[in-house]
Amino acid sequence: MNQSTKWIIGVVIVAVIAVVYFVSKGPSELVSTEPIKIGVILPLTGDAAFIGEAAKNSAILAKESFGKTKNTYELVFEDDQADSKKTISAFRKLVDVNKIRAVGTGFPGPGNAIAPLSEKEKIIHFSIASDLSIAKDKPFVFNHWIKPENEAGVYIKEAKKQGLKKIAMITSNQQGIIAIRDALLKEDQTIFILKDELLGPQEKDFRTTIIKAKNEGADAFLLMLLQGQLTSAVKQIKEMKVNISLTSIESFDYDPEAIPMLEGEWFVTSADPSEDFTTSYKEKYNGLPQPGSAYVYDVIRILITAFEKEETNEGAAKFISEMKDFPGVTGALSVDSDGNINSKAVVKKIINGKFVEVK
């Protein structure tokens, strides 16, 4: 071996060592500097904008609640007006342009619309919706809400405590609402009347339904209606002098215009989040969180925790699916076999325009 061959071999060995060093070093450097992007699709305009804006605030608050993290995180917000078609467009943009690794959605329609897509793309999808079938048999999809069975149980217990025997159902034909109605009828059919009284989501004239309920001797209404519908229905009930109890599951949360007409009435909804969360929210945004805000906070914290522990989406999805007693602001959170995190349902009463939990 002559001198120049030795030199060539020496240079090649140094080059190989350098390449091996930088190749092994390179990707981890890239991972730590490139933020992990989490898409958040919310109704930031439209009917449910007040919920979407508060949810956005909560997501930001959740991200900021972590101190120094191994990875950096970026939340990318998109507006879907709770319209499934727009959710799909927003999802495609988030996947193709922003290269997100996880996505959050609100409401059953948007959740159902992109669950199969996120499952196919292996992007972790957290839905916040009352339809618990969204996550079923989809390892990358999860859902955080109150189980309709929990709400139904709490509602029927309270109704019986109040001595109600003929509760007239006025129900909007919407996926999440139907899930609650079915759970109620499964729990106890005997105390409900007008069980098949479904109304289109755009319907605002409830007069004939109201008079049918009155004619059948209803002692209460169970109003499970969308925003705007509830205001119209309550106004028409009052105008028609049908003076019976007005109750609901969740709907009172979403229709601020109806609240002045609902003083003293009760409904079933999610339990209040922790005092710490409400205080931090108030301090940062000078307002109160809205329904679902605390769920969003918990979901973002769960996702960041999962990505801190696991490098791949498969690993993070597995971590979430096996999660037990995660310390959330909505309680100790565990994921069930269908990918759902179930929260507690409580009875709240409207007192001086505020929702007060009935202990």
Partner 1 sequence: MDILPQLVLNSIIAGAIYALVALGFNLIYGTTKFFNLSHGVIAVVGAYAFLFFGKMLDWNLFLSVFIGIAIAAIVGYGLDKLIYLPLRKRKASNMALLIASLGAFTALQAIIAILFTSQFQTLWRNYSNQKIYEIYGGIITQTQLIILISGILITGALVFVLKYTLFGKMTRAVSDDEEAAKIIGINTNKIISRIFIIGSAIAGLAGILVGFDTGIEPTMGMGLLLKGVIVSIIGGVGNIYGGFLGAFLLGFAENFGIWKISGEWKDAIAFGLLIIFLLFRPQGIMRK
Residue 208 within binding range of partner 1, rule CB under 8 A: yes
Residue 215 within binding range of partner 1, rule CB under 8 A: yes
Residue 200 within binding range of partner 1, rule CB under 8 A: yes
Task: Closer to partner 1 by CB, 169 or 317: give it.
Answer: 169
Residue 168 CB neighbour total at 10 angstroms:
24
Amino acid occupying residue 219: D
CA 247 vs CA 79, 220, 257: distances in Å: 31, 7, 16
Task: Closer to partner 1 by CB, 102 or 168: give it.
Answer: 168
**In angstroms, what is the minimal distance from the CB of 47 to partner 1?**
5
Residue 153 within binding range of partner 1, rule CB under 8 A: no
Task: Closer to partner 1 by CB, 119 or 253: give it.
Answer: 253
**Per DSSP, which regions of the chain are E strands?**
36-42, 73-79, 102-106, 124-128, 141-146, 167-172, 192-193, 198-199, 220-224, 245-249, 266-270, 326-328, 331-333, 340-343, 345-351, 354-357
**In angstroms, what is the minimal distance from the CB of 129 to partner 1?**
20
Which residues are CB-contacts of 58 (< 8 A; sequence separation ≥ 6)? 281, 289, 293, 294, 296, 297, 300
Which residues are CB-contacts of 325 (< 8 A; sequence separation ≥ 6)? 332, 333, 334
Each residue 163-192 as x (binds partner 1 by CB under 8 A) or -, in order, gives ----------x-------------------
Helical H segments across 34-147, by residue range: 49-64, 84-96, 108-121
Task: Closer to partner 1 by CB, 241 or 324: give it.
Answer: 241
Residue 94 CB neighbour total at 10 angstroms:
24
Task: Closer to partner 1 by CB, 211 or 288: give it.
Answer: 211
**In angstroms, what is the minimal distance from the CB of 36 to partner 1?**
33
175-183, 228-236, 297-305, 325-333 -> range binding partner 1 (CB under 8 A): 228-236
CB 220 within 8 A of CB 246: yes
CA 316 vs CA 76, 109, 140, 171, 312: distances in Å: 19, 25, 9, 38, 6
Residue 211 within binding range of partner 1, rule CB under 8 A: yes
Residue 244 within binding range of partner 1, rule CB under 8 A: no
**In angstroms, what is the minimal distance from the CB of 55 to partner 1?**
16
Task: Closer to partner 1 by CB, 198 or 323: give it.
Answer: 198
Residue 197 within binding range of partner 1, rule CB under 8 A: yes
Binding stretches for partner 1 (CB under 8 A): 45-47, 49-50, 81, 173, 196-200, 202-209, 211-212, 214-215, 227-228, 231-232, 235-236, 238-241, 255, 257, 261
